[in-house]
Structure 1
């Protein structure tokens, strides 16, 4: 049997430079800071990950581009 997954929805707050990713529609969840500006969103009732928040996305991308250019 092939598992099915809900679509990933996203929202980017340009002013705050934060990317919000959700499995399906955004929903209430517990945020777990897993370090380096990454927050895992976890539904404690269903015992599953329902999203991810990436703080400082623009800075991350720029650092990655600089690293590629320097290699």
Structure 2
């Protein structure tokens, strides 16, 4: 199996939050076409097959997760 670059220190990290869909898109560098790999629990890794490296991460349900964790923390 070839080596896969997981993440080098990015020079440019961009993000976009879709409030209606409650989804956060993180891109390393400019957003670009990539394969989405569902890694579970609402996380989708964006992978550039040609360059063999991770180019982003999508977090589904960010606000929902945050509010749930804050509510759990308040009960402690």
TM-score, with length taken from structure 2:
0.85
**2:28 corresponding residue in structure 1:** 23
**1:49 corresponding residue in structure 2:** 54
Q: Do the aligned partners of residues 58 and 48 (structure 1) sit closer, same or farther apart at CA in structure 2, a change above 3 Å counting?
A: same
Q: Do the aligned partners of residues 70 and 52 (structure 1) sit closer, same or farther apart at CA in structure 2, a change above 3 Å counting?
A: same
TM-score, with length taken from structure 1:
0.90
Output aligned runs, 1:1-71, within 5 Å: 4-71=9-76
Count of aligned residue pairs for this structure pair:
69
Give the RMSD, CA atoms, in angstroms.
Answer: 1.2
Provide runs of 4+ in structure 1 moved above 6 Å: none
By how many angstroms is 1:5 displaced?
2.2
